[in-house]
Homo-oligomer: A and B are copies of this chain.
Amino acid sequence: MVLNPKIPEPELSYLPQPALDRIANMGIFDTQCEGHQLLEKIANKWTILLIYALIQGKKRYSDIKQQVVGISPKMLVQNLRSLERLGLIRREVYPTVPPRVDYSLTQLGESLSEPLAVLGEWAYQHISDIDAATKKYDSKPDAEDFWQPK
């Protein structure tokens, strides 16, 4: 969106001060910060979906694989291992034949499931908003710019 050449008044929308207070100056923007690295590990699609799946309780490998549609065995194991290493999930092997492996959230993992559930809720509550915004953005002829594009 292009505005008039003169700097407009900020039309300062209200700031979400609570969130600001909590996150600002925590070092999250620094790659070296542990919080940053931790966030990087949990903020990916498969990780979140696995947590979601295990919120429903202890599950076997094959059940998880069936529920999380389209995940390859490689990604499944890789992410499960990562979560286990972080202490978010528990892996229990029963040396029976055929073998059986159960995965479940640890207490730490359960504590993470709440924030992630909130995030998932947000997604579902705003699908239509996002849809509308995206359509509007895509239909914008990107003219309206008065500095003659091209």
Taken together as a complex, chains A and B put the C-alpha atoms of A40 and B123 apart, in Å, by 10
Question: Given A93-B1, A117-B22, A123-B42, do A29 and B48 touch, yes or no (CB 8 Å)?
Answer: no
A126 neighbours in B (Cβ, 8 Å): 38, 108, 111-112
Taken together as a complex, chains A and B put the C-alpha atoms of A18 and B150 apart, in Å, by 54
* Contact between chains at A68 and B130 (CB < 8 Å): no
A116 within 8 A of B: yes
Give how many copies assemble into the complex. Answer: 2
Which residues of A are interface residues toward B (Cβ below 8 A)? 1-3, 5, 7-8, 10, 12-16, 18-20, 22-24, 26, 28-31, 34-35, 38-40, 42-45, 48-49, 52-53, 55-58, 67-70, 84-88, 90-96, 100, 104-105, 107-108, 110-124, 126-127, 129-134, 136-138, 146-147
List, sorted by A's number, 9 A–B pairs whose CB atoms are closer than 8 Å.
A16-B105, A16-B113, A16-B114, A22-B117, A23-B117, A23-B120, A28-B49, A84-B137, A108-B129
